[in-house]
Amino acid sequence: MTLTVLTDDQISGLVSNLTKEELQRFMGVLRGALHEYSTATTVPSKENAAATAAPEIHQPERTSINSKATGATTLFMPSSSSVGTGMKVVTLTSPSAEGDEDARPKENIKPTGAITLFSPHGTPLGFLHASTLTAFRTALASLLLISKRDPSSHLKTITVFGTGAQAYWHIRLSLLLLGQHIHQVNILSRSFSPPVSSLLKSFLTCPNREKEGWENTQFSVLTPAHNEYERLLKEQLLESDVIICCTPSTKPLWDGGILTSHEGRQKGRLIVAIGSYKPDMQEIPQEVIQQALKRHHHGVGGKHHWHWHKHAEEGGVVVVDTLDGALKEAGELIRAGCRPEMLVEYVCFFVCHS
């Protein structure tokens, strides 16, 4: 068998020029893969219409190691099914190293690594650079949720924390699919650094703005250096329809009271957080999660009960990729005291909203 090797530039070239129709096909493929993972059943397709047997899916919990030499964390993520085996290895700067002079890296290590694919018999089939692919795939999963919102009224303003590849792809795919409905994109960063300028320039100079329908979309950048940062941050959060968090933060990115106050609860928002991969990491204030999971008076006699995923449009649950992984690794959920019944995996959400 031929071994396929794809560099980061090659992968970037492939996904950077997608049409809206191609993006929607990617979304369908990912939705099917999530269904297959969560239910261990094969979703029949045109290419595999006769598929009925359940694949043997094994996805052990990912493991990690920390390097004292670099202060970085390396994650190992294996997965196997009836069609083959894959191993993803990614190295990135550990947030715990930021306050440790001995472990602090000489330079910030952006997420980088590779995915190795094998046939069911163990023959190597592919070796893919993981940087762009990881950011693209994560944003694609988020887009499955973002696209469920009413674009005419609940997608006008998007606020993004972060300026790296994850932030770029979350904004880029949202604009490609729903750009004609998005009026404002707010970007929040710790400082106005070269990556911020590069991120902003990539959208302001994008040649496809008019063709994709977002030529009138406005962009702004806000950093703590602004003398009215707290006021503007509050305004942007209150105006947001979607908030996307793409940082390796170990503390909440904003004061939870902004969105749990009476003023903050006047409108519903989708909050997407992808940064936490350790229990000590946190992007969303725990009170925001607890507010979303509060019990409501419904049913006979006004008894309390949880809003399950069938009523997700009213809130009441947190949508996650995997229940076990989220409860062990997502610091926000751990701090908020989330239990399994308060979470729902992607596939259950989409089954109830298809």
DSSP state string for 57-94:
-B-PPPEEEE-TTT-EEEEEEEEEETTEEEEEEEEEE-
| pLDDT of 310 above 50 | no
Contact 145, 319 (CB under 8 A): yes
Reduced to 3 states, what is the DSSP secondary structure of residue 351? helix
323 and 290 together in one domain: yes
Average pLDDT over every residue of 305-322: 59
174 and 145 together in one domain: yes
pLDDT bracket for residue 313 (50, 70, 90): very low
Contact 186, 157 (CB under 8 A): yes
Instruction: Evaluate whether residue 202 is within a structural domain.
Output: yes
Higher pLDDT, 155 or 316: 155
Q: What is the pLDDT of residue 276?
A: 87
| Phi, psi for residue 83 in degrees, rounded to 5 | -95, -5
| pLDDT of 204 above 80 | yes
Average pLDDT over every residue of 242-258: 95
Rounded distance between C-alpha atoms, residue 268 and residue 241, angstroms: 7
Tally of structural domains, the chain: 2
Higher pLDDT, 56 or 221: 221
pLDDT bracket for residue 97 (50, 70, 90): very low
Task: List the single range of 103-107, 182-186, 262-266, 341-345 with lowest mean pLDDT.
Answer: 103-107
110 and 147 together in one domain: no
Which of 97, 129, 161 is the last residue before a domain boundary? Answer: 129
Which of 100, 129, 158 is the last residue before a domain boundary? Answer: 129
CATH number of the domain at 342, please. Answer: 3.40.50.720
Run of H or E including 126 = strand 124-129
Share of the chain above pLDDT 90, in %: 59
Higher pLDDT, 345 or 29: 29
67 and 182 together in one domain: no
Task: List the single range of 13-27, 122-136, 188-202, 282-296 with lowest mean pLDDT.
Answer: 282-296
Q: What is the pLDDT of residue 153?
A: 79
Rounded distance between C-alpha atoms, residue 227 and residue 255, angstroms: 17
76 and 192 together in one domain: no
157 and 81 together in one domain: no
Q: Which domain holds residue 316?
A: 139-352
190 and 302 together in one domain: yes
Contact 182, 174 (CB under 8 A): yes
289 and 340 together in one domain: yes
| pLDDT of 99 above 80 | no
Instruction: Evaluate whether residue 101 is within a structural domain.
Output: yes
Reduced to 3 states, what is the DSSP secondary structure of residue 177? helix
Instruction: Evaluate whether residue 186 is within a structural domain.
Output: yes
Q: What is the pLDDT of residue 321?
A: 83
- Please report where in the chains the tokens 């939870």 appear, as a residue: 256
82 and 166 together in one domain: no
Instruction: Tell me the whole-structure pTM to 2 decimals.
Output: 0.86
Average pLDDT over every residue of 22-32: 94
Q: Read off the tokens for 311.
A: 């009523």
11 and 153 together in one domain: no
102-134 b/e (C-beta count within 10 Å ≥ 16 → b)? ebebeeebebebbbbbeeeeeeebbebbbbbbb
Q: What is the pLDDT of residue 102?
A: 52
Closest of 333, 329, 328, 325 to residue 284, by C-alpha: 333
Average pLDDT over every residue of 92-120: 73
CATH number of the domain at 40, please. Answer: 3.30.1780.10
Instruction: Evaluate whether residue 182 is within a structural domain.
Output: yes
Q: What is the pLDDT of residue 263?
A: 92
Run of H or E including 243 = strand 242-245
Q: What is the pLDDT of residue 133?
A: 96
| pLDDT of 278 above 90 | no
271 and 193 together in one domain: yes
Q: What is the pLDDT of residue 111?
A: 87
Instruction: Evaluate whether residue 266 is within a structural domain.
Output: yes
Instruction: Evaluate whether residue 336 is within a structural domain.
Output: yes
Which of 129, 153, 175 is the last residue before a domain boundary? Answer: 129
pLDDT bracket for residue 61 (50, 70, 90): confident
115 and 163 together in one domain: no
| Phi, psi for residue 58 in degrees, rounded to 5 | -130, 120
Mean pLDDT of the chain: 86
Higher pLDDT, 68 or 43: 68
What is the layout of strands, in order, in the sheet containing 124-129? 4-6, 124-129, 112-118, 84-93, 72-81, 63-66
Residue 350: partners with Cβ closer than 8 Å, 6 or more residues away? 31, 34, 35, 144
Q: What is the pLDDT of residue 106?
A: 55
Residue 161: partners with Cβ closer than 8 Å, 6 or more residues away? 167, 188, 243, 244, 245, 246, 247, 249, 253, 283
Q: What is the pLDDT of residue 43?
A: 46
Q: What is the pLDDT of residue 209?
A: 95
Instruction: Evaluate whether residue 60 is within a structural domain.
Output: yes
| pLDDT of 301 above 90 | no
Instruction: Evaluate whether residue 295 is within a structural domain.
Output: yes
pLDDT bracket for residue 350 (50, 70, 90): low
Helix, strand, coil: what percent of the chain each, to 5? 40, 20, 40
pLDDT bracket for residue 351 (50, 70, 90): low
Run of H or E including 132 = helix 131-146
pLDDT bracket for residue 47 (50, 70, 90): very low
Pairing of strands 84-93, 112-118: antiparallel
Average pLDDT over every residue of 146-166: 92
| pLDDT of 95 above 80 | no
pLDDT bracket for residue 311 (50, 70, 90): very low
